[in-house]
Structure 1
Amino acid sequence: MGSTVYRFGQYTLDADRRRLSRDGQRVEVDSRALELLCHLVECRDRVVPEEELLDKIGHGHGYESGKDALADWLRTARLAIGDGERHQWLIHTVQPRGYRFVARVAADSGTRAVASGDTSTADADHEVIRFCRSADGTRIAYALTGKGRPLVKTANWLTRLDLDRSMPMWAHWFDGLTRGRQLVRYDERGCGLSEWTLRSFTLDDLVADLDCVADAVGLDRFPLLGVSQGAAVAVAYAARYPERVSRLVLVSAFSRGQMARAGSDTERAAAEVDLKVARAGWRSQDSSFLRYFASQFLADATPAEWDAFAAYQRQTTSPDNGLRFLEEFGRIDVSGTAHRVICPTLIVHARDDARVPVAQALELATLIPDSRLILLEGRNHLFAADDPAWPTFLSHLEVFLAEE
């Protein structure tokens, strides 16, 4: 019988042979820390109490002395897989005194591969990353995940194709968006696996990037999903290429960026302050500034999760690019072209979105002729896995796409 192999992000864990690899290269780990990691991955469907871990790997340690040893083993295991005490993307501490492995995992027993949370098929785990060139020659990375009819998701910062599926911030999006469909996604120019050297960064460039991905995949007509600033790109694309977009889904969307929609000196000052805080955080890496920025995206998250959001930012792009993104996004304005979108459009927004006011969703619903608006209770700009709005959004999405 073959050994059980678990894959998450760039890592492969052979549980039977007790071997951890990163991108094919073996990672040397203390045997107790590796045993702890194996147990957490194998029991990833639940919170594992401290007592259970000590009983499993303590081997003679008393409870009090064992707690100190457990803390060391846990720290070593986290470091081995690129996790940490502050940004617990992979191993979450769950109070009181329990731990859970939360990254999306594909398990391969030698005969079949099944993703954690999916007992039917490994289709959603089949993923290929490819590259294409946009109109100005910029290299764009894109990925195809799952099988079925296509659903194209516009790029929105912050993403990185090779890491997103193992990040709690995005992992549940893959589970939801690949149900019976093939998800087509890509990294924005300037971030992720796409080219970081920005020749130009305009709305036209972002539309061209989307177009080159659709062409590279060989799509003539397809449903299009846009999240946050990616929604503005989706609106611009659907308005420019109405023959290619069959249905449009806009989540946490805006028609005008924060600076573009500022109608008074007070609103302009607020937009400037917001940008200055983000700029200070990026340049100084001061946690107070970074947490403020993260809290606008994940209003209901914990400080540790805000720190994790900030840590992930650093893996997706450079500080200079990040600041340029924020400046350009603030100036985006598709309010003058949204009326040219002719396909059926679903607009979903949290009523108390901390990043983009609900008035922006109302504006888009007014501008796009064949649109329907769904307002959900909540404050998160990016719907979290445990957000009550998340399953409701998925239900509306499935019904809307089924009508195609």
Structure 2
Amino acid sequence: HLGYDVESPVWRHWVRDMSAHHTFIRYDERGCGLSDWDAKDFTFHDWVTDLESVVDAVGLERFPLLGVSQGGAVAVAYAARHPEKVTKLVLCGAYARGRAVRAQSEDEKRAAALDLDLARVGWGRDDPAFRQVFAAQFLPDGTRADWDAFDQLQRRTTSPENAVRFLQEFAHIDVREQAGHVRCPTLILHSRNDHRVPMRYGEELAALIPDSRLVALASSNHLLTATEPGWRVFCDEVDAFLAD
């Protein structure tokens, strides 16, 4: 939620530091935040189309593009589709294949299915126990305040029904083909001990994108916190990459 981002310890440092030396444009995707929660169409293709709509509405001609987590796949697909617009690509905690696509073992398949069950059962409850499973995966090294803020954001920014729809679509993302068509320089940053999206999937993405460089961050968090050393490394790497 654009309004809550500047208040939340989960996201406010992203807004603050990414806008320190650049114009930072952020939008709420369909189904959450200030965007329409009752969107009928809810596919990966729709998310890429929404990004196209934002770019057109703002009037951007050429620009660097940042994608975080599943937003990385949207950014990859957009960059492949619009090489004339994206000057540089920055991906953090991103992946080419969602959990259901990359699941091989029965344990991995059960873990992917568990995501959906947790959202169905726990998203709308006052008891935070179910949602804190997500907090533990996204912010394992976060403070209790970080976990509470993450939990609050989950409930405030989308409905239980949409949470399931999001997770279903995230799980089936597959941009391996599009990644091979990205033509701009790409910086990929990934936490070395990421609990949500293991490092090997950042490595896979780097192998798929031709002109890319992978930086491993000393963190276990999927979403970097403001106080950890990895965040400073992230900011320095992005600044240097965009200035180069």
Look up the match of 2:6.
165
Separation (CA, whole Å) in 2 of partners of 1:233 and 1:285: 32
Q: Within the alignment, does 1:324 sit opposite 2:179 as a pair?
A: no
Look up the match of 1:384.
225
Separation (CA, whole Å) in 1 of partners of 2:240 and 2:148: 36
Look up the match of 2:140.
299
TM-score after normalising by structure 1: 0.59
Larger Rg: 1
Look up the match of 1:342.
183
Separation (CA, whole Å) in 1 of partners of 2:71 and 2:3: 19
Q: Which has the higher contact order (CA 8 A, sep 6+)?
A: 2
Root-mean-square deviation (CA), in Å?
1.2
Letter in 1 for 2:206: A
Which runs of 5 or more residues in structure 2 are unaligned?
Answer: none
What SS does the aligned partner of 1:180 have?
Answer: coil
Cα shift readout 1:254-310 (whole Å, capped 9, x = no counterpart): 111111111233321221123322332214443221111111111112344323211
Which runs of 5 or more residues in structure 1 are unaligned?
Answer: 1-159
Alignment of 1:24-63 (within 5 A): none
Picking from 184, 190, 194, the partner of 2:31 is 190
What SS does the aligned partner of 2:88 have?
Answer: strand
Separation (CA, whole Å) in 1 of partners of 2:8 and 2:193: 25
* Contact 2:93/2:189, CA 8 A, preserved across alignment: yes
Q: Within the alignment, does 1:254 sit opposite 2:95 as a pair?
A: yes
Task: Work out the percentage of aligned pairs sharing the same amino acid.
Answer: 54
Letter in 2 for 1:264: S
Separation (CA, whole Å) in 1 of partners of 2:63 and 2:165: 30
Separation (CA, whole Å) in 2 of partners of 1:354 and 1:243: 35
Look up the match of 1:269.
110
Look up the match of 1:213.
54
TM-score after normalising by structure 2: 0.96
Separation (CA, whole Å) in 1 of partners of 2:123 and 2:132: 11
Q: Within the alignment, does 1:373 sit opposite 2:220 as a pair?
A: no
What SS does the aligned partner of 1:207 have?
Answer: helix
Letter in 2 for 1:373: L
Q: Within the alignment, does 1:362 sit opposite 2:203 as a pair?
A: yes
Separation (CA, whole Å) in 2 of partners of 1:390 and 1:326: 26
Separation (CA, whole Å) in 2 of partners of 1:382 and 1:260: 22
* Contact 2:73/2:175, CA 8 A, preserved across alignment: yes
What SS does the aligned partner of 2:89 have?
Answer: strand
* Contact 1:290/1:307, CA 8 A, preserved across alignment: no
What SS does the aligned partner of 1:395 have?
Answer: helix
Cα shift readout 1:133-173 (whole Å, capped 9, x = no counterpart): xxxxxxxxxxxxxxxxxxxxxxxxxxx11221111111111
Separation (CA, whole Å) in 1 of partners of 2:21 and 2:142: 30
What SS does the aligned partner of 1:162 have?
Answer: helix
Cα shift readout 1:145-203 (whole Å, capped 9, x = no counterpart): xxxxxxxxxxxxxxx11221111111111221012211111000011111111221111
Picking from 142, 155, 174, the partner of 1:314 is 155
What SS does the aligned partner of 1:247 have?
Answer: strand
Letter in 1 for 2:213: R
* Contact 1:255/1:332, CA 8 A, preserved across alignment: yes
Q: Within the alignment, does 1:289 sit opposite 2:126 as a pair?
A: no
